Amino acid sequence: MSPNTDSTVTDTRPTAPVLEPPGGFFIWMLVALELATFGVALIAFAASGKSEAVLFHESRQQLDLRLGIANTIFLLTSGYFMAEAVRHHVCSDFPQTRRYLWLALGGGILFLVTKGIEYSDKIAHGHVLGSNPFFTWYWLLTVFHLMHVLVGMVILAVLLRRVVHIDHESLEAGGVFWHMCDLVWLLLFPALYLAF
């Protein structure tokens, strides 16, 4: 009988219960709570924008759309790398898992740098918390999101340090949290940077 020449590696994990989501129930409960929090904040932001439409439109023009697009690309690309890390971890391909985790973390770093440039510009032009209702919401929403990105980066760093020793569910949970940061940004970006 000829040796198996198939280069793919099969998933050797024990089969999880059918109804158990990737990463476990706890992380999904956390994600649901965070998405609900952001959702309520975005509804309040939209309501405030309707009552002060001209102010919100003029303030929105002070944001740099290019930086918003760049950050969208950085987070979505980073999310792709995180998915690849999870895929390679299933196959016990730890060098590739580590490589993709580094790339995902790099996307987070680029997001932070770009957001830092944007924040510096806003402060330099006096668009600070409390300067008007739009920028109050801008700072509250983006800083709250930034805190989640920072937590996600800490999670990625811990996963990187323990790639060989972590169980797959922990890596999936980290991936779910990181993808939540992507999703929240995909809600914030059009609300803040694009006209309604």
The domain in which residue 87 lies consists of 25-193
CB 165 within 8 Å of CB 143: no
Greater confidence (87 vs 21) lies with: 87
User: What does the pLDDT read at residue 132?
Assistant: 96
* Residue 65 in domain: yes
pLDDT of residue 125: 95
pLDDT band at 166 (very low <50, low <70, confident <90, very high): confident
Which band of pLDDT confidence, cut at 50, 70 and 90, is reported for residue 196?
low
Q: What φ, ψ does residue 93 adopt, rounded to 5°?
A: -90, 80
CB contact burial 83-95 (16+ within 10 A = b; e otherwise): ebbbebbbeeeee
Q: What pLDDT band is residue 48 in, cutting at 50, 70 and 90?
A: very high
Do residues 96 and 139 touch, judged by C-beta distance below 8 A? Answer: no
> What residue type is assigned to position 176 of the chain?
V
> Does 16 fall in a domain?
no
- Whether residue 13 is contained in a domain is answered as no
CB 175 within 8 A of CB 163: no
What backbone phi and psi angles, to 5 degrees, belong to 16?
A: -85, 160
Q: Answer whether residue 6 is part of any domain.
A: no
**Domain-embedded: residue 70:** yes
**pLDDT interval class at 101 (50, 70, 90):** very high
CATH assignment at residue 155 = 1.20.120.80
pLDDT exceeding 90 applies to what percent of the chain? 80
Q: Is residue 1 part of a domain?
A: no
Please count the structural domains in the chain: 1
- The mean-pLDDT minimum among 7-21, 27-41, 70-84, 115-129 falls in 7-21
Look at residue 183 and tell me if it is in a domain.
Answer: yes
On whether residue 48 sits in a domain, the answer given is: yes
Asked if the model's pLDDT at residue 81 lies above 90, the reply is yes
pLDDT at position 181: 96
pLDDT of residue 129: 93
Q: What is the pTM of this model?
A: 0.85
